[in-house]
Chain A
Amino acid sequence: MIKTDALIIGAGPTGLFTAHQLKLIGLDCEVVDNLDKIGGQCIELYPDKPIYDIPAIPECTGEELTKNLIDQLKPFNIKFHLNERVDEVKNKNDKWEVKTNKGTVFITPNIIIAGGVGSFEPRKFAPKECEKLENKSIFYSVKDKAIFKGKIVSIFGGGDSALDWAIELSKDSKINLIHRRDEFRAAKLTVDKMNKLAKDGKINLFTKYQLKSINTSEKLESIDIEHENKEIQNIKTDFVLGFFGLIMQLGPIANWGLNLDKKTISVDTEKFETNQKGIYAVGDICNYPGKLKLILSGFHEGALAARACFKLARPNEKYRFEFTTSSKTIKSRLGIKGD
């Protein structure tokens, strides 16, 4: 069990700067994120897209912004729990007990939700019956490629993940690659490689097709795929892999007893606290009159929520406002020597 002054959910720009603010005022914190890397939407959705409205930074990409925020956290030792999703939040003796899907447990007086639009989850197949076979013969990621050896694997998608796996698995499996159009968004080199394997008969390529239905007896037997012009083909298959990118879902946050407005959490504008004492929401996921979904708003919200955390984390101390330019205490926290 991990005790911390504040737990931040979400390692996007708002979560990162909030961590900085907490450490600056002398509180410790840990960060949980469902993605495998730090940066949130900035890294997952638009790493190369330029952003023009970060104060004092005329232009930077999502990746550069993330890198700068991580650099800003360098003086502090902050533990990140990546690839973990917070599933449960329970009140325990005036503190919050937080559990992740990997079994990590935190005890903290403060939870700051900086979750953007929720957690990233793989986009799944539309036919409902696919759910039953999920993680048995239908997968959205590959954990153990050995299970595909000598089998027929049908891979859906047109991006790098779909093509990379089609190429890799074609060494030891019979591969069907199915995509909704005849253009692929994967890197050109990968597309060329895949086309060559298709030409050599190592990959069966089906373009302008999508999954229509699956046929099972005791296990997956075959799938029906439908062409844009409605023609249907039945193909035998042992496994199905879907790589349609990631979608964002509010997920378990919806079950924590917070006041929600559509996909956002209602907060006050003094502490950015939700209807639950000690749970705050900042960044895109919070909602209040006049809310702007800008990164700069998230920074402001995080700074105020961090100050609110102080009261619950250090009930016997008084918070004193200080500037980084002049405060010796802050400078020592930042590891800056002299004045």
Chain B
Amino acid sequence: MAKITYIEHNGKSHTIDVANGLTVMEGAIQNDIPGIDADCGGSMACATCHVYVKEEWFDRINKKNEGEDDMLDQAYEPKKNSRLSCQISVSDEIEGLVVNLPEKQV
């Protein structure tokens, strides 16, 4: 289990416990965190679970999957620290992860 903080674009912060084996996207969806759409359900076929990962965390989470950057090209305002939250797996090691949500997903 890991505590993950999701910060909405308006600054509102949500810290929740997410079970190991889930993804950061699933943690948000199961807890009704606004700002993550996940239209395709986690199959890396859309870019609507886009998050910004805080610099200090970027290299500590699992690396990008092949094709993830291709999808991020299609996200709203992608940046250097952009990730698809459906591709970040939750484990004890990412306790305290902070992700910022973009202004919108679509």
Contact = CB atoms under 8 A, between A and B. Distances in A.
Contacts of A179: 73
Contact of A157 (B45, B73, B77): B73
A244 B74 contact: yes
Given A180-B78, A228-B80, A247 B48 contact: yes
B30 interface: no
B41 A45 contact: no
Interface in A137-171: 157-159
Contacts of B69: 181, 183, 185
B74 A248 contact: no
Contact of A248 (B39, B43, B76, B77): B39
Interface string A174-206: 000001110101000000000000000000000
A249 interface: yes
B84 to A, nearest CB: 14
A124 B97 CA distance: 30
Nearest to A122: B74
Interface string B94-106: 0000000000001
Interface string B63-104: 000000110011011111000000000000000000000000
Interface in A293-318: 293
Contacts, number: 49
A56 to B, nearest CB: 22
Interface residues of B, number: 19
A248 B46 contact: yes
B39 A117 contact: yes
A185 B43 contact: no
Contacts of A247: 46-48, 74, 106
B77 A263 contact: no
Interface residues of A, number: 25
A245 B43 contact: no
Contacts of A126: 76-77
Given A117-B39, A181-B69, A248-B39, A41 B77 contact: no
Contacts of A157: 73
Contacts of A159: 70, 73
B13 to A, nearest CB: 22
A157 B74 CA distance: 9
A46 interface: yes
A49 interface: yes
A249 B106 contact: yes
Contacts of A183: 69
Contacts of B106: 247-249
A291 interface: no
Contact of B46 (A45, A210, A244, A263): A45
B1 interface: no
Given A41-B40, A117-B39, A228-B80, A180 B73 contact: yes
Interface string A21-44: 000000000000000000001000
Nearest to A262: B37
B70 A185 contact: yes
Contacts of A117: 39
A28 B78 CA distance: 46
22 contacts: A41-B45, A123-B74, A123-B76, A157-B73, A159-B70, A159-B73, A179-B73, A181-B69, A183-B69, A185-B69, A185-B73, A210-B78, A228-B80, A245-B47, A245-B73, A245-B74, A246-B74, A247-B47, A247-B74, A248-B106, A249-B106, A263-B37
Given A49-B45, A247-B47, 5 more contacts: A45-B40, A159-B70, A180-B73, A245-B74, A248-B39
Interface of B: 37, 39-41, 43, 45-48, 69-70, 73-74, 76-80, 106
